[in-house]
Amino acid sequence: MVIGLTGNIGSGKTTVCQLLAAKGCLCLNADLLGRQVSEPGGEAYAELRQSFDAAYFDEAGNLLRAKLAELVFNDAAELARLNGIIHPAVLRCLQREIEAAQAEKPQQVIVVEAALLVEANYLPILDQLWLVWADDQVRLKRVMKRDKVDHEQAQARMNNQLPQAEKAKYARYIVHNNKGRAELQQELEAVWQQFWQENMKQED
């Protein structure tokens, strides 16, 4: 069973993943893999070097992420070019990690966390999608606090993502995270029980 866990910025994906890991799930972070594949020697590195100007790399060959982020933030064609390199590489890595984990522990529930599972079309490698949902104003406050950015900067990051209601169309379960941590834990417990009942019971 491979669950995709998505949600827009500040919704609480990482927080939910920590709770799922405590339940014994194996959590894979696709955003983290995205950074790994673009490091020197990584799966996407050679293609990145060919596709982007030398000015986007430092003397040691490391990708200057902030500089590239600035470029793609303002240019949809460049963003598409970057995604066309990163996402296929991350998908290949994920597939290998999932296969290895399944071979080692066939009953384990695997959770793939990423903000862009829907946008980047990772759905074919997942058995089902969960969405962590928090209202825009709640997410805005969390992002401002966590990243120490002002209202405008937080809003700009939020604007770049597909609306939650669109993602909800693909989701089998929604984890509501508008309230505090204790409420989130309760909500996740309820979703987990429903998930287990509906998907895993026969495997108990």
Nearer to ligand ATP, 29 or 38 (CB): 29
DSSP secondary structure letters along the chain: -EEEEE--TTSSHHHHHHHHHHTT-EEEEHHHHHHHHTSTTSTTHHHHHHHS-GGGB-TT--B-HHHHHHHHHT-HHHHHHHHHHHHHHHHHHHHHHHHHHHHH-TT--EEEE-TTTTTTT-GGG-SEEEEEE--HHHHHHHHHHHHT--HHHHHHHHHTS--HHHHHTT-SEEEE-SS-HHHHHHHHHHHHHHHIIIIIGGG-
Task: Name which position in 142, 154, 167, 171 contacts ligand ATP (CB under 6 A).
Answer: 142
The 77-96 contact track toward ligand ATP, x by CB under 6 A, reads --------------------
Q: How far is the CB of 5 from ligand ATP (least distance, A)?
A: 9
- For residues 163-202, which are near ligand ATP according to CB under 6 A? 177, 180-181, 184
Q: How far is the CB of 140 from ligand ATP (least distance, A)?
A: 11
Binding status of residue 151 toward ligand ATP by CB under 6 A: no
The 8-47 contact track toward ligand ATP, x by CB under 6 A, reads -xxxxxxx--------------------------------
Is 164 strand, coil or helix?
helix
Only one of the segments 6-14, 75-83, 92-100, 118-126 lies at the binding site for ligand ATP (rule: CB under 6 A); that segment is 6-14
Q: How far is the CB of 46 from ligand ATP (least distance, A)?
A: 28
Residues at the interface with ligand ATP (CB under 6 A): 7, 9-15, 115, 142, 146, 177, 180-181, 184
